[in-house]
Chain A
Amino acid sequence: MRAALVIAQMTLAEARRRRILAAALALGAAFVTLFAVGLHFIARDVRAHANPTQQGFAFAYVVLAALYAANFLIVMTSVLVTIDTLSGEIGSGVIETLCTKPVPRWSVALGKWLGCWTILALYAAVLCGGVLAVSRLEAGYTPPQPARGLALLLLEGTVLLTLALAGGTRLSTLANGLTVFGLYGLAFIGGWMEQIGTVTGNAAARYLGIGASLLVPSESLWQLAAYLMQPPLVRDAGMGPLSPHSVPSPAMVVWALGYVAATLALALASFRRRDL
């Protein structure tokens, strides 16, 4: 475990030195700033022209839209930060002198995972924490169950991050990126099939979506987070893609946690067995 922590520190130091962390945090701050300015003007108008119920709808919608964008950025960041961390070092040969040190191979991969996950958690905290803080300060609105909602967004990023690490043990950086984003695309379209199938009563489309969610439980975690982070009145109104009609069961969270654990175990085993 000591070696894994050393590797995790190095991964963080690399993100800092190569300005990956600075770029992510600066653009995250820009995202929050833009949202703050926009919400400031929206809140001024809404307060002047709408009754309290309408204000609640408006703020819930705007904040959920910001969190939807943040969710997309978290997904992208989780994959981009991890995609090259193993495959790049395998390709360049950097990994050779690390793996001839007296450390188990799995600890190198685990250290990379820990380092990337810390970057992801920082990024998610800046983005989502910023959105929630701005919402509180500008509109006096805090969505319901923010901690559970943010934890689900982080879990969604963790699912994709772990897939990217597992892919990196065997695939080149480009092939790994295409594979992980392709899997995310399957989950995304599957999520839509499930929603449309629920609205239209089409069981086949619904089951197809559930199958895709089991294959990659990313989109379903967003849908559960979106469901939890909106007031019941707004949920019932059904605000397009932000208000899921088919709400994933809490068992999906257990599935996603198990999925992360199993994928990580697979990644460590795969890295341990591969030739360098």
Chain B
Amino acid sequence: MPAPALEVNGLRKQYGRTTAVADLTLSVAQGEVFGFLGPNGAGKTTSMKMLLGLVLPTSGSGRLLGAPLGEAQARRRIGYLPEHFAFHEWLGGRELLRFHGRLLGLRSRALAGHVEELLRRVQLADAGERCLREYSKGMRQRIGLAQALLGEPALVFLDEPTSGLDPLGRLLVRDVIRELAARGTTVFLNSHLLSEVEVTCDRVAFVRDGRVVRELSLGAAERDLEVELRVDRVPPGLVAGLAAFARDVREDGACLRLRVEDETALPALSRWLVAQGVGLYHLAARRRSLEEIFLEVIS
């Protein structure tokens, strides 16, 4: 089994009396697209900065691509797009990528071709010579994304990559993440756009108060089905009886709501209801959205 791309244990960051990250423990497999979710102030950005060596942890340890956190050598294979990508505004887009490529140690001839390819990928080939201060917000975000992809990294950290992008820009980011995943690149994604996370990530972790409070695989088999029933009456013992088939059974006005692990439970459930002499008018099952799970976990 290959070593995880990222593994941290008990990472903590304290600023005086304020705890920014209490106890971050998580592991991300190689090639995984991992979503790092949580409300504002949950410690996501500080956590990401500790992983990248920008912030020194107060305690805890971790490894990034096999090297201890903060080691310069591991950063050769890492890409990073910060939440608010700031850069030398007096540079042109092409120059910015070349400068960052040189810091990565890329040779000038190979770098020139690589830069052109990235500019095309983020649809900025025609704007490569323009000064960055003339770029729109979306263009800045896209040049930042290109910067994060320099050197074909094995692990890419994206902090709110779709912030400020229009729907076409968001689609581009989604495509890039899919391409990275297809290439086996690990992606660590921090985003508030849960619909984006839902379609791009393999797994997510929910963070609250600087701790991972829940991890969840986004494969269909791993998420509960929410079932809504409408029956003509609710005789005594019905709710207790349904608990044999499902979890979290509750009455909600004229409906009964419950959760089952997967849809194979539904035929037996409906047969049992009919056997109880209950008239069944409506049975609907749907997967819970990531947003619903997020709200439940975080609140």
A6 CA / B105 CA spacing, docked (Å): 10
Q: Is B188 an interface residue (CB 8 A)?
A: no
Given contacts A275-B54, A275-B56, A276-B55, whether A102 and B87 have CB atoms under 8 Å apart is: no
Looking at A92-100, A147-155, A177-185, A191-199, the stretch in contact with chain B turns out to be A92-100
Q: Contact: B55 with A98, CB < 8 Å?
A: no
Q: Contact: A96 with B80, CB < 8 Å?
A: yes
Q: Which of A3, A18, A94, A276 contacts B87 (CB 8 A)?
A: A94
Residues of B within 8 A of A (CB): 49, 52-56, 72-76, 78, 80, 82, 84-88, 90-91, 99-100, 102-105, 144, 147
Chain A residues near B56 (CB-CB < 8 A): 273, 275
Per-residue CB proximity of A1-23 to B under 8 Å, as 1/0? 01100100010001001100000
Q: Contact: A100 with B80, CB < 8 Å?
A: yes
Q: Tell me, rounded to whole Å, the shortest Cβ–Cβ distance linking B204 to chain A.
A: 23
Residue of B55, B78, B88, B103 with highest tally of chain A CB at under 10 A: B103
Q: Tell me, rounded to whole Å, the shortest Cβ–Cβ distance linking A81 to chain B.
A: 16
Chain B residues near A101 (CB-CB < 8 A): 75, 100, 103-104
Chain A residues near B87 (CB-CB < 8 A): 94, 97
Q: Which residue of chain B has its CB nearest to the CB of A92? A: B86
Q: Contact: B100 with A97, CB < 8 Å?
A: yes
Q: Is A26 an interface residue (CB 8 A)?
A: no
Q: Which of A3, A96, A276 contacts B103 (CB 8 A)?
A: A3
Q: Which of A3, A92, A96 contacts B54 (CB 8 A)?
A: A96
Q: Which of A2, A93, A104 contacts B84 (CB 8 A)?
A: A93
Q: Which of B72, B85, B102 contacts A97 (CB 8 A)?
A: B85
Q: Which residue of chain B has its CB nearest to the CB of A17? A: B90
Interface pairs A-B: 7 shortest CB-CB: A93-B86, A102-B76, A101-B103, A102-B75, A17-B90, A276-B54, A275-B55
Chain A residues near B85 (CB-CB < 8 A): 93, 97
Q: Which residue of chain B has its CB nearest to the CB of A93? A: B86
Q: Contact: A102 with B86, CB < 8 Å?
A: no
Considering only residues 81-126 of chain A, those with a C-beta below 8 Å from chain B are 92-94, 96-104
Q: Tell me, rounded to whole Å, the shortest Cβ–Cβ distance linking A100 to chain B.
A: 4
Q: Contact: B88 with A6, CB < 8 Å?
A: no
Q: Contact: A10 with B99, CB < 8 Å?
A: yes
A2 CA / B91 CA spacing, docked (Å): 21
Q: Contact: B72 with A10, CB < 8 Å?
A: no
Chain B residues near A3 (CB-CB < 8 A): 103
**Cross-chain pairs A/B with CB under 8 angstroms, 22 sampled:** A2-B105, A6-B102, A6-B103, A92-B86, A93-B85, A94-B86, A96-B49, A96-B80, A96-B86, A97-B82, A97-B86, A98-B103, A100-B78, A100-B80, A101-B100, A101-B103, A101-B104, A102-B74, A102-B104, A103-B103, A275-B54, A275-B55
